[in-house]
Amino acid sequence: MLIISCLFLLNFLAPTILGLGNVPDQVHLAFTGDLTEMAVVWNTYEDASQDVSYTKQGSSDQKQAKGSSEQWVYNGIIRYKHKAVMVGLDYDAKYDYSIASRSFTFKTLPKDPSSYRVCVFGDLGYWHGNSTESIIRHGLAGNFDFIVHLGDIAYDLHSQNGQVGDDYMNQFEPLISTMPYMVIAGNHEDDYQNFTNYQKRFVMPNNGYGDNQFYSFNLGPVHWVGVSTENYGYYYQYGMEPVFTQYNWLKADLTEANKPANRAVRPWIFTFQHRPFYCSNVNSAECQSFENKIVRTGWLNMPGLEALYLQNSVDMGFWGHEHSYERFYPIADRTYYNDPSAYINPKAPVYLISGSAGCHTPDAEFTKTPWPWSAVRNNDYGYSILTVANSTHIHLEQISIDKNEQNVDDFWVIKNAGFQYQHSESVRIGAKKFPPQKCHIRDLPCMRTLQQINEEL
């Protein structure tokens, strides 16, 4: 026991013993909401006043970004979070930057980019990161411009007193030091200290509340909105106030984004969050669990999110939590549209689960017979590549790690210039309610799920 304790202690003291306590690690970038800026965040194990030097490639004009330092402690382990914002950046330019003795590069996006690519995934662990190598390799090759991680990061950021989170962030550092890494919290980010590890490790666009679990940013023709489903999932532990704070902010944010003048400039509204409104997995009870259901419908006086999304004509929603890939037909309040042209001028949001990047659980299971609102299901390990082609066309591919990076789904969402579904239309014209379903008598998971859905209906 003494030997094990000594080795465990040595693991955390190693950076200091080796003289690396003030060397920056876990360096990663994030959008601030202004494309002439880039936030950079890093960690040290000793207090150190550190600034960021940055230079546009081909220029001799070196600039300085003042770094701030904040000590944070988790289970007795002291870390220092550092942040700086590089400002005055040119559009569509490459930059070199350095922190202390370490050097990195990144590239800015064009002004109001009409087209870009995003790597989207959730539920990726350090020890079972099946997609990690592929994501890093393709990212460094320039195959996408930034990352959206849909929660459940590292499994878990706080494990082993935070060492797993340190290792995960350092594993991804070669990539996320070169491009923005935009994250949202999942249930595994609850570290029993009100998401301390998540809050202290990341800096997301400012929402005015000092809380990085919900935020938004504009990028080209898309208004991106990150939403915490965990305010609902853990309301019994941390209270209802975070639910109302986020909801009031979200209502104002979506209302502003949905104004005609803003919608003309950014016709697409995308949300990304962890726990899904809909899914057809049967290996757990989570598709119909109470904690997940209230995210969509609300409970007591806590408002749910689906009605707000519909009122503001949200186009797409990306989710994790289920360790699988599932694409849905446009769906609104349990009505769906599965006609051949469902993704052309969709009459409701298009939802997609991409939670199969790599974690500690076996392949997800589905009902043997797909539900009619489920367009494509796949339980291979993998991740999604979203291409914002322009203001009218969106392309999505699901990459399978199990099948040597083959596409296991490939589809377009198209809407005419100026098209915007109205919720009143979506519940009237062409909508199909979940119809009565049948399961094979031996398909017990299907029968259990059917019973749960029929109870809702």
Sheet holding 325-328, edge to edge: 215-219, 222-226, 268-272, 316-319, 350-354, 325-328, 374-378
pLDDT tens-place string over residues 278-292? 998 887 667 777 888
Q: Please give the DSSP secondary-structure letter assigned to residue 128.
A: T
* pLDDT in the model for residue 456: 47
Is residue 425 helix, strand or coil? Answer: helix
Q: Tell me which of 135 and 48 has the higher pLDDT.
A: 135
Region for residue 292 given its phi and psi (left: phi exceeds 0; alpha: psi -120 to 50; beta: otherwise): alpha
Amino acid (one-letter) located at 127: W
Residue 303 CB neighbour total at 10 angstroms: 18
User: What whole-number distance in Å separates Cα of residue 333 and Cα of residue 355?
Assistant: 23
User: What whole-number distance in Å separates Cα of residue 238 and Cα of residue 187?
Assistant: 13
Handedness of CA 27, 29, 30, 34 (dihedral sign): positive
Which residues, 6 or more positions from 23, have their beta carbon under 8 angstroms from its beta carbon?
A: 15, 44, 100, 101, 102
Q: Per-residue pLDDT averaged across 62-90, rounded?
A: 97
Distance from chain centroid for Cα 81: 21
Q: Per-residue pLDDT averaged across 237-244, rounded?
A: 95
Q: Is 0.85 topped by the overall pTM?
A: yes
* pLDDT in the model for residue 365: 86
Name the most confidently modeled range: 15-19, 296-300, 327-331: 327-331
Say which range, 10-19, 104-113, 242-251, 255-264, has the weakest mean pLDDT: 10-19
Is residue 371 helix, strand or coil? Answer: coil
* pLDDT in the model for residue 89: 98
Q: Tell me which of 274 and 13 has the higher pLDDT.
A: 274
pLDDT over 60 (residue 241): yes
- CATH hierarchy code of domain 112-456: 3.60.21.10
* pLDDT in the model for residue 364: 84
* pLDDT in the model for residue 454: 54
User: What whole-number distance in Å separates Cα of residue 211 and Cα of residue 59?
Assistant: 37
* pLDDT in the model for residue 186: 97
* pLDDT in the model for residue 3: 38
User: What whole-number distance in Å separates Cα of residue 298 and Cα of residue 321?
Assistant: 19
* pLDDT in the model for residue 446: 55
Q: Which of 366, 337, 368 is nearest to 433 (CA)?
A: 337
Q: Where are the domains of the chain?
A: 1-109, 112-456
Helix axes 132-140, 163-176, angle to 10 degrees: 30
Handedness of CA 85, 90, 92, 93 (dihedral sign): negative
Q: Tell me which of 448 and 162 has the higher pLDDT.
A: 162
User: Angle CA(152)–CA(156)–CA(159) in degrees, nearest 5?
Assistant: 165
**The CATH classification of domain 1-109, taken from the options 3.40.50.1370, 1.10.10.10, 2.60.40.380, 3.20.20.70:** 2.60.40.380
Sheet holding 25-30, edge to edge: 25-30, 38-44, 77-86, 68-74
* pLDDT in the model for residue 419: 96
Phi, psi of 375 (to 5 degrees): -85, -45
Mean pLDDT over all residues of the chain? 90
pLDDT tens-place string over residues 147-200? 999 999 999 999 999 999 999 999 999 999 999 999 999 999 999 999 999 999
Got the DSSP string for 47-68?
Answer: -----EEEEETT---EEEE--E
pLDDT tens-place string over residues 314-330? 999 999 999 999 999 99
Say which range, 98-112, 292-306, 365-379, 428-442, has the weakest mean pLDDT: 428-442
pLDDT over 80 (residue 450): no
pLDDT tens-place string over residues 195-238? 999 999 999 999 999 999 999 999 999 999 999 999 999 999 99
Q: Per-residue pLDDT averaged across 336-360, rounded?
A: 95
Residue 395, beta-bridge partner list: 387, 412
Q: Per-residue pLDDT averaged across 319-342, rounded?
A: 94
Q: Please give the DSSP secondary-structure letter assigned to residue 109.
A: P
pLDDT tens-place string over residues 47-56? 998 999 999 9
Q: Which of 267, 253, 227 is nearest to 413 (CA)?
A: 267
* pLDDT in the model for residue 285: 65
Q: Which of 287, 184, 294 is nearest to 228 (CA)?
A: 184
pLDDT tens-place string over residues 369-398? 778 889 999 999 999 999 999 999 999 999
